[in-house]
Amino acid sequence: MPGLRSSPPALLLLFLLAVPRGSRAGQALEPGSRSAAAAARVALQYRNCQAGSLGGLRALGQVRKATLKNIPESGHKYYLQFSTEDYRTGEDAGNCLATVLYPKKKSRPVVSIKCSHTKDQKEIQEEDNRFYQRIRHQSKPITANNIPDSYGNIEPALEPVWALAVAGSSSIMWEKSTETLGYFLAQVKSVRQWIRKDDFLEFDYTVLLHEMPTQEIISCHMRLTWLPGRPLKVKHFCASEGHGAEEGSGAESGSAAAPSAEKGASF
Amino acid sequence: MGFKRPQGTVGMQKQFSPLTMRLPVLLAALVAVATCTKTFVGHQVLRIIPQSDEELQKVQELQDLEHLQLDFWLAPRKLGLPVDIRVPFPSLQAVKAHLEATGVSYSIMIEDVQALLDEEQREMLRSSRQLPLDTTTFNYDAYHTIDEIYNFMDMLVAENPNLVSKLEIGRSTENRPLYVLKFSTGGTNRPAVWIDTGIHSREWVTQASGVWFARKIVQDHANNEGVASILETMDIFLEIVTNPDGYAYTHTTDRMWRKTRSRHSGAICVGVDPNRNWDAGFGDAGASSYSCSETYHGPYPNSEPEVKSIVDFVKSHGNIKAFISIHSYSQLLLYPYGYTETPAPNAQELHEISAKAVAALSSLYGTQYEYGSIITTIYRASGSTVDWTYNQGIKYSFTFELRDTGRYGFLLPARQIVPTAEETWLALKVIMEHARDNIY
């Protein structure tokens, strides 16, 4: 809707209508609850990759309201209202209403999300164009490692490349998320640019995802293409073995087949 | 290097730059050379201020005598302006004789260039990351290596021998010492507070905060404010690098390493999660029996020397009243239990303390924390530190998860170290004060 500046009454009404009432309504969750925050994060990961925008990337602020409903034959559905921050600057970026359905059958969460914004579309488009130009105007193909580095530094010249990684890895994290497994981008391990004949930007990334609650570090390879105003195209492949796999002192005894990091541990 | 200018060059300095300002630059250049090939033992720097055209000409003639290997730091320009010449040792006699014979007066600016270079080098090493001179020049806004942190501890003890002592409570798997700082104003086996940071090695903001806490305790005591009142009746124990093998590994090999570096027979992978290795619900749901897992509990409780040493210390001390174990990230304040849903007997009290601590933390920079029991707030976890300490009777057992909530995660920018430590300290004080005021 054009001219959306803050959570208007119309959206709120939609939310209230969407939230089931009465005893079969579903349970209200504490706004501070882990599962509410995790679901909100998944909703934002979905939005961050769908939007295909670097200037519009958002991080979770605070969950204001959360409800959980069990949809028989379908799965668990979260109804959420939360504030967001600009991913880069931390400034208030507006509020969102979202639903997140974790299907009973193992497949990606189903997300619907609608957000107000503090920056208007034109501003965001200009930022995206600036990011785009900064990458385009490099004299040679970009290659880099460890973004941020061990000390949390991101070289200013590599900020656009990092923002692209956030957007791209959001798609991986959304797809992998379940009601019990959530993800954070821990680090961009490496990045390499492929120069194309057309205007699209193309990159190969190796990203490290931090999986919760297992604490595992998952290494994923990601190939993405982007043009401002177009959705991100992401292909990915994640290693199933945790990053700590190295030789110890002998054959494993006790536990059965080594669980792949893709599954949750005993939580 | 130096100031060899081709004959007849214009490009003389328009402005007089004092030797003192130029000295460090030139010395640095010399140091660079000195460390490679040359030595400047016995070289001197002479200063001549020509008072007449004749004197000026005599000095200019020196420039032509290539075999003397003179290095003009300030070339001859005009009357009254100094000429500085580095004279190699073999040429010293000849040059001085020449100047004296022609009546040109000179002074010795530098008696021995090499001695000055050596001093400069020592100074450079000291002011680099290697060795700060004292805890005032230590850089709290940066992440440090184990050696730097261990050096910091020694400096802190040396500067405050009546307040701080260093205890070695054991050795890690790779035989690194496990050091605990003890802050005490006296007494015998006073009731005590324990704080540990860095049990998970990749959580760098925690070790860095531990360093800041150590200095803060000393400062408060010196200024008779903050925790000075707590130190009147209680001791504080602080283990900053609780998992030194892991920490070293995050510097040399894998920044994301979490566990210890132990190798147990029958285990495919290296390392045990030190926060699943305690004897509280050990091996129950909430830890992994697979050695390659990040939450591997180990072959048996206290299999890790890093854990066993704390267990032994706590048991033999016998008078610890509050125990706080610090992690990152997630911005949470947690209390027992993690291995069971049964509430801790004084969960209500712990909840109230947490509310107060979190409010204090938030008051500084607005950082938002959630709080509650481990199992309800973060996830089920068995064999965790504070579940064991709580079951030992340490009523005020807490775990922190510091900044942030995922934007940088483990790779928290160094500029956030001090703000994180400052706000966390406010929460720690609430817990310590409560323990002091509710002695049991």
Compute the mean pLDDT over every residue in chain B, rounded to the nearest whole number.
90
Mark yes or no for CB contact A248/B264 under 8 Å: yes
Give me A146's structure tokens.
């460890």
Cα dihedral B367, B373, B379, B385, rounded to 10, equals: 100
- How many Cβ atoms are within 10 Å of B19's Cβ, its own excluded? 15
Candidates A62, A212, A250; nearest CB to B265: A250
pLDDT at B84: 86
DSSP β-ladder status, B320-328 and B235-239: unpaired
Mark yes or no for CB contact A245/B416 under 8 Å: no
Q: Which of B7-16, B133-142, B337-346 has the lowest average pLDDT?
A: B7-16
Place of tokens 């880099």: A144
Q: Does B370 touch chain A (CB under 8 A)?
A: yes
Candidates A90, A151, A244; nearest CB to B271: A244
Nearest to B386, CA basis, from B307, B312, B440: B307
pLDDT at B27: 57
Q: Which of A262-266, B8-12, B68-72, B310-314 has the lowest average pLDDT?
A: A262-266
List chain A residues with CB under 8 Å of B291: 248, 252
List chain B residues with CB under 8 Å of A87: 407
Mark yes or no for CB contact A216/B294 under 8 Å: yes
The predicted model gives B143-151 an average pLDDT of 97
CA distance B370 to chain A (A): 6
According to the CATH classification, is domain A121-262 in 3.90.550.10? Answer: no
Q: Higher confidence at residue B218 or residue A26?
A: B218
Bridge partner list, B310: none
CATH class of segment(s) A2-115: alpha beta
Candidates B290, B378, B414; nearest CB to A255: B290
Residue-wise burial string across A38-72, b where 16 or more C-beta atoms lie within 10 A, e elsewhere: bbbbbbbbbbbbbbbbbbbbbbbbebbebbbbeee
Domain locations in chain A as residue ranges: 2-115, 121-262
Mutate to test the interface with B, among A146, A188, A249, A255 (most CBs of B within 10 A): A249
CB A238 within 8 A of CB A218: yes
Known catalytic residue at B401: yes
Q: Higher confidence at residue A40 or residue B85?
A: A40
* 3-class DSSP assignment, residue A177: coil
pLDDT at A2: 43
CA distance A196 to chain B (A): 31
**Which whole-number Å values give the CA distances from A30 to A33, B157, B370, B403, B429, in the listed order?**
5, 47, 11, 22, 28
List chain A residues with CB under 8 Å of B366: none
The predicted model gives B322-346 an average pLDDT of 98
Give the model's confidence band at B77: pLDDT under 50 very low, under 70 low, under 90 confident, else very high.
confident
pLDDT at A18: 55
Give tens-digit pLDDT for B253-265.
Answer: 999 999 999 999 9
List chain A residues with CB under 8 Å of B373: none
Task: Examine domains A2-115 and A121-262 and report if their fold is the same.
Answer: yes
Give the model's confidence band at B61: pLDDT under 50 very low, under 70 low, under 90 confident, else very high.
confident
Most confident of A231-245, B118-132, B279-293: B279-293
> Per the omega criterion (within 30 degrees of 0), is the bond before B337 cis?
yes
Name the active-site residue from B203, B304, B401, B423.
Answer: B401
Nearest chain B alpha carbon to A210: B409
Q: Tell me the average confidence (pLDDT) per consecutive run of 10 residues in chain A, 267 residues long.
A: 48 55 71 93 97 94 96 95 95 97 94 94 93 90 97 95 97 96 98 95 98 97 95 93 58 40 31
